[in-house]
Amino acid sequence: MDQHASDAIQLRIDAMCDRVEKLKEQDLYFYNQPVRELRGGARVLVDGREMGMYASYSYLGLVGHPRINQAAKDAIDRFGTGTHGVRTLAGSLILHRELEEKIAEFKGAEDAITYSSGYVTNLTVISTMVGRGDYVISDKLNHASIVDGCLMSGARFLRFRHNDTESLEQRLQQADAEQGSAKLVVADSVFSMDGDIIDFPNLVAICRKYNAWLMVDEAHSVGVLGKTGRGIEEHFGMPGTIDLKMGTLSKTIPSVGGYVAGKRELIQYLRHASRAYIFSAAIPPAQAAAAKVAFDVILDEPWRVEKLNANTEQFINGLKGRGFDTMNTQTAIVPVLCGSDERAFELTGIAQHKNIFVLPVVSPAVPPGLARLRATVTAAHEPDEIEHAMNIIEEAGKKIGLIA
């Protein structure tokens, strides 16, 4: 007899497995598909079929870049594949310092610290900066890793309406009533489900007015915003305004890891107080070397940022012109609003059967009724490929009655 047969944990497991099974039976399960080959960044081989890739975060098409691959191979030859421990003890390599110096330079900061992923970076940094008795104030649509970091911190967790600086101000007034408690405001630069950009000038002004620390997650803005792809401060012409510039090495930068760039003392503090740095292993040598060179490639090949901008414009305008609601996106993350979860699954199913790799985003990742197909473009796509993908999505949209 199964001793867990009907307890609450088992019921949760069963409910999830049932949901997955039902979607599979209806041929509407699109997650965890094994990609067999990457074909130049814009196309992938899945189940023996070549598909146009519109779900990639490799915004500048740097996955597989020869210079980056070579740096990773050289690092393996020099250092092997692991770091035999945490950074504080024996796991720190010269490569880690070089990467951190490169990040600091790229982000216009005094120093930087790296962690094993972006998710871990948000957890550990937020929970190191604030704790019991403090306030952490977060945009309602911030990424799950920010939410988890806020919860883990034990600080009083206030949320403001999405991209609404009046609502932020109300929260700060609430926090300000209590003298002496620290205040940390956290926001995404570009929102990962909607593609819109935070109202950065007002965000900065309000944080300053209330003397709050500002942390911005640049997972979707590095390589995407700013003339040279340096991110949100460059985009708005406001250098040096973020206290904690957080980012990931797993999207535009084709590696794995996360970082925070900021003032020298802040980074020194995190190096000696953040638990994921002290108690968890470092980024492997190949990934550190790849990430470092990727920042150089972004600056050496400025055409990539320009091409991403052109592709983004073509994609958003093309979908809007075909009658789709792309919400408030201004970036390479382009939602196609479907409404119900079922419609998002249907639209995705038709597109995928026509070899366009896009994914549905449904509740609880987005509020019920706002399910969507979420597509991304990158600098690796050519204009005719984008046109073809949009034609397929249009055909699918007409078939399910989403557009006329």
| Residue 124 touches ligand PMP, criterion: CB under 6 A | no
| Binding window for ligand PMP (CB under 6 A); candidates: 82-90, 199-207, 215-223, 235-243 | 215-223
In angstroms, what is the minimal distance from the CB of 330 to ligand PMP?
16
Instruction: Report residue 40 CA to chain centroid gap.
Output: 22
In angstroms, what is the minimal distance from the CB of 294 to ligand PMP?
14
Residues numbered 165 to 194 that lie near ligand PMP (CB under 6 A) are 188, 192
In angstroms, what is the minimal distance from the CB of 244 to ligand PMP?
13
Nearer to ligand PMP, 310 or 365 (CB): 365
Nearer to ligand PMP, 222 or 351 (CB): 222
Instruction: Outline where DSSP puts E strands in 176-264.
Output: 183-188, 213-217, 244-248, 258-262
Answer for which of 100, 196, 217, 394 binds ligand PMP (CB under 6 A) is 217
Q: What is the dihedral of CA 195, 200, 201, 203, to 10 degrees?
A: 130
SS3 371: strand
User: Residue 356: in which H helix or E strand, if any?
Assistant: strand 356-357
Long-range contacts of 322-325 (CB under 8 A, 24+ apart): 322/390, 322/393, 322/394, 322/397, 322/403, 323/397, 323/403, 323/404, 324/393, 324/397, 324/402, 324/403
- CA–CA gap between residue 248 and residue 216 (Å, rounded): 12
The answer to whether the CB of 229 falls within 8 A of the CB of 222 is: yes
Binding-residue total with ligand PMP (CB under 6 A):
14
| Binding window for ligand PMP (CB under 6 A); candidates: 82-90, 116-124, 156-164, 337-345 | 116-124
In angstroms, what is the minimal distance from the CB of 256 to ligand PMP?
7
Q: Which amino acid is at 223?
A: G
Regarding beta strands 258-262 and 333-339, do their DSSP bridges make them parallel or antiparallel, or are they unpaired?
A: unpaired
> 59, 41, 60: which is closest to 51 by C-alpha?
41
| Binding window for ligand PMP (CB under 6 A); candidates: 66-74, 115-123, 194-202, 376-384 | 115-123
The answer to whether the Cα torsion of 190, 287, 119, 373 is positive or negative is: positive
In angstroms, what is the minimal distance from the CB of 57 to ligand PMP?
7
Closest residue to ligand PMP using C-beta atoms: 118
| Binding window for ligand PMP (CB under 6 A); candidates: 216-224, 329-337, 370-378, 386-394 | 216-224
Side-by-side strand order, sheet with 43-46: 35-39, 43-46, 49-53, 356-357
In angstroms, what is the minimal distance from the CB of 221 to ligand PMP?
9
| Active site amino acids | 192, 220, 251
Asked if residue 364 has a cis previous peptide bond (ω within 30° of 0), the answer is: yes
The torsion angles phi and psi of 169, rounded to 5 degrees, stand at -60, -40
Answer for which of 42, 68, 150, 219 binds ligand PMP (CB under 6 A) is 219
Answer for which of 258, 318, 349, 397 binds ligand PMP (CB under 6 A) is 258
Nearer to ligand PMP, 280 or 391 (CB): 280
| Binding window for ligand PMP (CB under 6 A); candidates: 13-21, 111-119, 221-229, 282-290 | 111-119
The answer to whether the CB of 88 falls within 8 A of the CB of 282 is: no
In angstroms, what is the minimal distance from the CB of 198 to ligand PMP?
11
Tell me which residues touch ligand PMP (CB under 6 A): 117-119, 122, 143, 145, 188, 192, 217, 219-220, 248, 250, 258
